[in-house]
Amino acid sequence: MQYNIEPRLTALLVIRMMLLLFKGQEIVTEDDIADMVYLKAVIKETLRLHPPVPLYIPDLSREDCSLDGYMILQEHNAEIDFKGQDFHFLPFGSGRRMCPGIHSATVTLEIMLSNLMYCFNWKLPAGMKEEDIDMTEEHQKEKLILVPQIA
Any alpha helices (H) in the chain, and if so which ranges?
Answer: 2-5, 7-20, 37-49, 102-119
- Assigned domain for 17 exists: yes
Check: pTM over 0.95? Answer yes or no: no
- Assigned domain for 22 exists: yes
- Assigned domain for 2 exists: no
- Assigned domain for 1 exists: no
113 with 43: CB under 8 angstroms? Answer: yes
Which backbone phi and psi does 67 adopt, to 5 degrees?
-130, 115
Q: What is the CA radius of gyration of the chain?
A: 21
Which CATH number do you get for residue 123?
1.10.630.10
Q: What is the pLDDT of residue 111?
A: 92
- Assigned domain for 94 exists: yes
pLDDT digits (tens, 9 = 90+) for 36-63: 888 888 888 888 777 776 655 666 777 8
- Assigned domain for 111 exists: yes
Q: What is the pLDDT of residue 4?
A: 52
| Cα end-to-end distance, the chain, whole Å | 25
Residue 70: give the domain boundaries.
7-150
- Assigned domain for 118 exists: yes
Q: What is the pLDDT of residue 15?
A: 81
Low-confidence ranges of the chain (pLDDT < 70): 1-6, 20-21, 53-59, 77-88, 135, 139-140, 142-151
CA distance 35 to 29: 12
- Assigned domain for 64 exists: yes
Q: What is the pLDDT of residue 108?
A: 93
Q: What is the pLDDT of residue 1?
A: 46
Q: How many domains does the chain have?
A: 1
